[in-house]
Amino acid sequence: MMTKALNLLWLWGLTASGAGLPPAVRSAAERIRQAALSGSGAAGIVQSLCDHVGPRLAGSAGSRAAVAWALEQMRGLGLENVRAEKMREPRWERGVETAEIVAPAMQPLAVTALGGSPATSPEGLEADVVSTENVESLHALLARDPSAVRDRIVFYSEKMTRQSDGSGYGKTVNIRWAGPTEAARAGAAAVLIRTVGTSSNRLPHTGVMKTGPEIPLVPAAALSAPDADLLERLVREGKTIRVRLILTCRTLPDVAGSNVIGELSGSERPREIVLLGAHLDSWDLGTGALDDAAGVGVVLETARILSRLPKRPKRTLRVVLFANEENGGRGAAAYRDAHRPEMSEHVAALEMDLGADRVRAFSWLAGGTSEPALSEVAALLSPLEITAKKPEASGGADIGGLREFGVPLLDLSQDASRYFDFHHSADDTFDKIDPKQLDQAVAAAATVAYCIADMPERPAPIPEEKRKAQE
């Protein structure tokens, strides 16, 4: 309580000195926050994208349908300068994916190919399994015996832990990203990973693996947690485990895709841009409700709310629905390339891509002179039970690349406790959306977007020494 009282005094002092948010901006932000919290249209937007478009992996018919959907939605919401900015996107198709234990006893396995995986031969690939925890333990194994995995199927068994900030994902995802190529380099025949997720059902989570012209590749798939548990039990019994894997996935030539962009032009400084991003593509297994129709719903609903204000904010709000976040990041790259000349006019960027649950924390990365104003924005979020958080913001996959241009980054970190139960799996469907939590996220995003767009001073750019992303 003491801290809160001190904060309030400090805020009052700042405002009085003119360094923060003017009272009119603060009170407008409070009204926006309250209105969104009492019921937004975000869940309806999410439902429309899930039900009327469905899965929308880059390169698929769903991806094209999503672009058409997004253009129509933006126009319907009254956004301006609505356009599809063309880019090229990859086209990887899943095909058939089956696996079974053939020894010690026949048993089907629930698998899903990792994005970018090559196919096995049509009749499948059969090999003995060698089990290791992660890439580090693979290297330790190879140091003892360089032929340990040759012609084998490498099974990475590392378990992701459930954390409200989703940090378990970052700690484990390397088995999916680098695991296949590290095993390929050592002569493995194929790779199976324990699903990188927290679900305990038999729906494995897909996701992209490292690929590229110089990257050795082998067929790679994720096992659901129960199937990984089964393999681990058989490994503990000391039996030779033989698995057959059939994947018919394939990479086809790149095709045309689009980032979809719409704006609310600023009333006083229209060249200054507040970027609000989410990604339009999704994995193919589910309907991408949490990843990232939810983000799409939050940013579009935020734009709708701000479009209905009696007076337009000073700066332009630009909603960018990025293409191909999931397996290539080509949308983000295309945006950076196309908008390089106006990078210095990007006053801040916020990306929503951590599911549909409530926002827990607000953080930022900007020049030090903006601390007071951004702290005031943070204070406006505290009725939503959102705390101002250190460390500084890092942006997400789509806006993180703006850091090198000094564009201030804002993070609204959502509760990710249950996100990784569904993320990248067939279970990422609309029924998992909790409209109340989504409304809280809209309230947060709309509050932040409005304040940044209408505050007197634009946030200061990221200092040069902080423009390199930390590993």
Residue 95 binds its own copies (CB under 8 A): no
Distance CA 467, CA 471 (A): 12
From 30-38, 106-114, 187-195, 214-222, span contacting its own copies (CB under 8 A):
106-114
Nearest 5°: the CA angle 343, 79, 357 is 80
Residue of the chain from 31, 139, 233, 436 that contacts its own copies (CB under 8 A): 233
Rule CB under 8 A: which of 26-55 touch its own copies? Answer: 47, 50-55
Residues with Cβ within 8 Å of 1's Cβ and at least 6 positions away in sequence, in order, are none
Residue of the chain from 62, 116, 313, 328 that contacts its own copies (CB under 8 A): 62
Nearer to its own copies, 53 or 445 (CB): 53
Distance CA 89, CA 251 (A): 12
Torsion sign, CA atoms 134, 191, 249, 52: negative
Nearer to its own copies, 97 or 272 (CB): 97
Q: Residue 205 Cβ, how far from its own copies at the closest point, in Å?
A: 13
Residue of the chain from 202, 210, 336, 389 that contacts its own copies (CB under 8 A): 202
Residue 327 binds its own copies (CB under 8 A): no
Residue 108 binds its own copies (CB under 8 A): yes
Residue 225 binds its own copies (CB under 8 A): yes
> 408 with 399: CB under 8 angstroms?
no
**DSSP structure class, residue 96:** -
Indicate the length of the chain as a whole number: 471
The separation between CA 450 and the C-alpha centre of its own chain, rounded to angstroms, equals 23
The separation between CA 172 and the C-alpha centre of its own chain, rounded to angstroms, equals 16
Residue of the chain from 14, 19, 65, 333 that contacts its own copies (CB under 8 A): 65
Distance CA 87, CA 93 (A): 19
Nearest 5°: the CA angle 116, 122, 127 is 80
Listed residue (97, 140, 130) closest to 232, CA to CA: 130
**DSSP structure class, residue 117:** P
Distance CA 322, CA 281 (A): 7
Q: What share of the chain is helix, strand, coil (3-state, %, to 5)?
A: 40, 25, 35
Task: Record the tokens describing residue 127, joined without a space.
Answer: 């090999």
Q: Residue 229 Cβ, how far from its own copies at the closest point, in Å?
A: 5
> 373 with 21: CB under 8 angstroms?
yes
Nearer to its own copies, 318 or 423 (CB): 423
Residue 105 binds its own copies (CB under 8 A): yes
Residue 429 binds its own copies (CB under 8 A): yes
The count of other CB atoms within 10 Å of the CB of residue 92 is 24
Nearer to its own copies, 121 or 200 (CB): 200
Candidate list 97, 158, 263, 325, residue with the active-site label: 325
Nearer to its own copies, 287 or 316 (CB): 287
Residue 336 binds its own copies (CB under 8 A): no
Nearer to its own copies, 32 or 234 (CB): 234
Listed residue (298, 275, 278, 413) closest to 347, CA to CA: 275
Nearer to its own copies, 431 or 465 (CB): 431
Nearer to its own copies, 280 or 409 (CB): 280
In the chain, the N- to C-terminal Cα span, in Å, equals 37
The count of other CB atoms within 10 Å of the CB of residue 52 is 10
Residue 226 binds its own copies (CB under 8 A): yes
| 325 assigned to active site | yes
Residue of the chain from 145, 337, 431, 465 that contacts its own copies (CB under 8 A): 431
Q: Residue 50 Cβ, how far from its own copies at the closest point, in Å?
A: 8
The number of residues that bind its own copies (CB under 8 A) is: 35
> 262 with 74: CB under 8 angstroms?
yes
Residue 203 binds its own copies (CB under 8 A): yes
Residue 171 binds its own copies (CB under 8 A): no
Q: Residue 111 Cβ, how far from its own copies at the closest point, in Å?
A: 12
Distance CA 465, CA 48 (A): 43
Rule CB under 8 A: which of 181-200 touch its own copies? Answer: 199-200
State the residues that interact with its own copies by CB under 8 A: 47, 50-55, 61-62, 65, 101, 104-108, 110, 199-203, 225-226, 229-230, 233-234, 286-287, 426-427, 429-431
* Residues forming the active site: 325
